[in-house]
Amino acid sequence: MSAPRVQLTDDEWRQKLTPEEFAVLRQAGTEPPFTGEYTDTKTEGVYECRACGAELFRSSEKFESHCGWPSFFDPANSDAVILRPDDSLGMRRTEVLCANCHSHLGHVFEGEGYPTPTDQRYCINSICLKLVPS
For 114-133, what is each residue's pLDDT tens digit?
989 999 999 999 999 999 99
Cα–Cα distance, 94 to 19 (Å, whole number)? 25
Is 55 exposed, middle or buried (CB count within 10 Å of its CB: 0-12, 13-18, 19+)?
middle
Residue 112: predicted pLDDT: 92
Q: Point out the residues of the chain with pLDDT beneath 70.
A: none
What is the pTM (predicted TM-score) of this model?
Answer: 0.94
Catalytic residue among 49, 98, 101, 123: 123
123 is a catalytic site residue: yes
Candidate CATH numbers 1.10.287.3510, 2.60.40.420, 2.170.150.20, 1.10.630.10; the one for domain 10-133: 2.170.150.20
Domain boundaries, given as residue ranges, for the chain: 10-133
End-to-end CA distance of the chain: 32
**What is the per-residue pLDDT for 100?**
96
